[in-house]
A and B are shown apart, each in its own frame.
Chain A
Amino acid sequence: MVDFAILEHYHFVVTPNDLELEEREILPMTSALTAMRSLALNRNRNRNRNRNRNRNRNRNRNRADPFGKEDSAIQEPWEERARLYALRDEWMDLPVRLPPSLPELRAQALDLLKKQALLSLPQNIGRREEILVEAELELSRYLRPLGIETHGGYDATISLMLTVMALTDEIGLYYKARWNVPRPNQVEPRLRNFLAAPAHASYPSNHAFQSFALAFVISRVIPEHPGSGQLFLSARRIAENREWAGVHYACDTAAGHSLARMILPVLEKVLQKNMLAAQAEWM
C-alpha cells in the first residue's frame, strides 16, 4: 500500500543547486513549510534535460588537430587488461555462431568479387579513400556522429574509445585463433584485395567487432544522444568497407557485430570507471 503519510510529513524542495528534504509542520487548514531538517546537499552534476546534444559545450576548446596522433595515444591500459583477464571466464566462451563451411565461404566470396569490380568504378573513389583511412586506428568516424570531432573537452570519451579498441582487438584475436578461418583471397584466388589481408584469421572481423563494441559502449554511456543510432551506422559502414576491401566475408561482419553485442555486459564491468568519466563530460 502506498504510504502517503510520508508525503504529508516530508517533501523535497528544489533549489537552483540542491534538492532539500524538508519536514512539514502540519497546521490547521493549511500546511506551512518549515525547514526543520535539510540534508545531503549533494552536488548535482546534472543539468541534463535529456535532450542535449551538447552542441555548444566546450565550444571554446577546439581540438588543435582533430585527426592527429594525439587521438590515438593512450597509456597502455594495464589496469583494464588486468580486470578483463580477471573476468576471463565471462568472455572467452560467448555463443558466437560457428563459421560457415568452405563452400559457403566460397559463395560469400562471390559477393566480394562483385564489390571488387564495383570498387574500381570512378563513383567509388570516396569509398576507396575511406578504406585506406580506416585501415589504421582512426576515430573521426565515431566522433563525428557525436558532434565532437573538432571539440575539446572530451578527453575521457576519446580515451574510453581507444581503450575499447585496445581491449576488443585482443579479445577478437582469441576468437579468430579458435576457428582459424582463411581470408577470402585464400578461398577465392581471383580476389585481388584492395588492402593486403592481415596475417591473422578472418572470422570474426575485428574491425566490425571493435566498431560495434564502441557503439554499444557509447550508447550505454549516453543513450539519449541523438547520434547514438548514427554511431551504429558508422560502425556498419566501417565493417562493410572491409568487405569492399576484400579482406572479410559478410559472415565475419555479422560475427563481429554479434560478439560486440554479447560482450557489452563484460566490457561494462571492466570499463566502469572509464565509462563514468566519459559520461561526466556529457552532463
Chain B
Amino acid sequence: MKFATPRLRYDSLWHLTALGVLTRENMPNTWLPEDVKKPARVAMIDTSVAMDHPNLRPAINQKLAFDLFSTRLGAFPGLVGQSCLGDLGLGTAQGVVAGLPGCQALLDALDARLAPDQAPCIGTIQPATSPVFSGHGTAIAGLIGARPVVVPMAEAYRDDPRDTTLALPYCGVDPTCEIIPISTNFDTDPEQMILAFLYAERIKADVIVLPRGIPDPFRMQPELYAHDLGGRNLGELTAPCPVSDEDRALWAELAELIVKISLRRPIVCAAGNENEEYGIYPANLASEDNGVISVGAVNAKGWACSYSPPSGLTVWAPSTDAESFVEGDVRLDMAQHRDDRHGIPRENNNARFSRFEIISTDVPGQGGYSASPYDSAEPEDGLREFGSFFCRFGGTSAACAIIGGLLALGRGLQKIPANADGVEAKAWLLQNCVTPVANQPNVCVPCLDGIGAFPVDTSS
C-alpha cells in the first residue's frame, strides 16, 4: 500500500489564526493596535531571555528584568553598569503577605534590596542571564509578545547588494504588551519562588506567566504522603534529603501566596507534559474561586495533544502534538511510520495527530534550540541568517505562554477591565472559549473573538 504524503507547508502563525487573534492573512482580526491605550505588563517567571532578539527588543522591559538564578535577592541584568537602581516605579506587596511570616520576612529583605540607592548587582555576583542559554525563556517571550520587525542585513552576507534589509514577520499573541523576565533556577528552593512572585506583585504585573513546574517536595506528588509503609509515609521514605521544618513551612506559604496573588492578577501555569490529571504543581492549584489558570495543549486539529489530558484543566491552547502509543491512545504520525507499522491496532487515533508545530523566537547564533551555521559572533551591522532566530517549540509551556499573551491582549484592548482581578480575568477567558472538537466537550480553547478558526490543520 502506498501512502500519499502531501507536502507539508503551513503558516508559522497558525496558532494566532486559530485563536481569532489574526485573520488568515495575518492581519489583526477585529482589533487594531491603536485600540491598546495602555499596554499590558506580563511578568514571566522562567529562564532568562535573549533580550536583544530583534523581535523581542521592543517587547522586553530591560530595566525591570530581574534575575534570581545566581543572586539570592536578585540582580538587574538590564541595569548592569549603572551605579544604583533609582526609582523603579514599583508598587507594594504588603497586602499579599498577611499571615505568612516567612513571606513577610522575605518581602522585607526584597523591599530593602529594591531601594533606589541599591546597586543593580550585589557585590561581584553577576546575573545568570547569558542569552546563549536562554532558549526556553526566549521562546516563551516570543509567543507572548514578539513584534514583527524589519532589520538590516549584514553587508558581507547579502546575496544581492539590494537586499539591505530583511523582514522577520513573526508576532506574539499580544505584540503591544510589555514583558518583564524574572529568571529563576531549578533548585528545590521555596525562597527563590516566593521572591519571584513577590517581585511580580511589586511590578504590578497584569498577568503572571509560569511556564514551568515548582519542585515542592510535598505538592509535586502529594499522593506519596498518603501511603503508609511500616508507620512512615512513602514521601518521607523516598525523599533523598529530609526537608527542614523551616522549608516545609515556606513551601506551604508559597502555595498560599500563589493563590493570594492570583486573586489580584491571573497566574497562568503550564499543566505539564505527562498527561497529569489536574496538572502539575502549581497549575493544580487552579479552582473556581482563584485566579490560577492551568493550561493544557491542543493541536492544530483541535484535539487535546497526546501529552495533555482532555479534562480537568482550566483551558487549552494550541501547541505541538506528540505521538502516543499506549493503551487508550494510539496516535502516530503515519508519515514517519511507512515501513514500520507493526502493532498498530485497527482502531486508533492516528487521524487526530497533527504535524503542525508551534514556531517561536530563539536565541540568535549558536545557543537555543536551532543553531546558526556560523560559529563566529553575530555581525554588528545586521543579520546574516534568520534560521537561528526561530525554533520549533511546544508542550504546555507554549500553550501557557499563548494564554498569557491572550490575557495581555484582552487587558490591553480593555476587554478585561483595568480593575479586574485574577478571578475576573479568568472568567473572561472562560466566557470566550470554543470547543474545537465535539468529541472532547471539556476541552475549551479561549479565542479573542469568541469564535476562533479550528481546525487549522484539515488533513485526514
**What is A's interface to B at a CB cutoff of 8 Å?**
1-4, 6-16, 18-19, 21, 31, 39-51, 90, 93-95, 215-216, 219-221, 223-224, 226, 228-229, 231-234, 236-237, 240, 258, 261-262, 264-266, 268-269, 272, 275-276, 279-280, 283
Contacts and interface: CB of A to CB of B under 8 A. Distances in A.
Given A44-B387, A93-B124, A268 B322 contact: no
Given A39-B166, A90-B124, A223-B186, A19 B359 contact: yes
A276 B134 CA distance: 12
A269 B130 contact: yes
A258 B387 CA distance: 38
Contact of A40 (B12, B139, B176, B385): B385
Contact of B169 (A10, A42, A44, A266): A10
11 contacts: A6-B167, A14-B356, A43-B387, A51-B322, A90-B126, A94-B125, A220-B47, A223-B212, A261-B70, A262-B70, A264-B128
Given A2-B147, A51-B394, A220-B133, A41 B387 contact: yes
B29 to A, nearest CB: 11
Most chain B CB inside 10 Å of its own CB: which residue of A2, A12, A226, A276: A2
B123 interface: yes
Interface stretch (B248-256, B363-371, B414-422): B363-371
A233 B372 CA distance: 35
Given A15-B8, A216-B185, A46 B136 contact: no
B222 interface: no
A6 B150 contact: yes
B133 A268 contact: yes
Interface string B132-169: 11001001000000011110000000000000001111
A13 B387 contact: no
Closest 10 CB pairs of A and B: A42-B387, A46-B369, A49-B394, A51-B273, A229-B215, A51-B395, A12-B12, A265-B126, A6-B148, A50-B395
B393 A42 contact: no
Contacts of B98: none
A249 to B, nearest CB: 16
Contacts of A95: 122-125
Given A223-B186, A283-B369, A19 B71 contact: no
Contacts of B167: 6, 9-10, 21
Given A10-B167, A51-B322, A265-B127, A42 B11 contact: no
Contacts of A234: 240
A48 B393 contact: yes
A62 to B, nearest CB: 21
A10 B385 CA distance: 16
Contacts of A16: 8, 355
Interface string B58-89: 00000000000111100000000000000000
Nearest to B153: A39
A89 to B, nearest CB: 8
A246 to B, nearest CB: 18
Interface stretch (B20-28, B111-119, B284-292, B343-351): B20-28
A265 B70 contact: yes
B357 interface: yes
Contacts of A283: 369
B454 interface: no
A18 B10 CA distance: 11
Nearest to A20: B9
A45 B386 CA distance: 14
A12 B390 contact: yes
B442 interface: no
A257 B157 CA distance: 46
Nearest to A231: B186
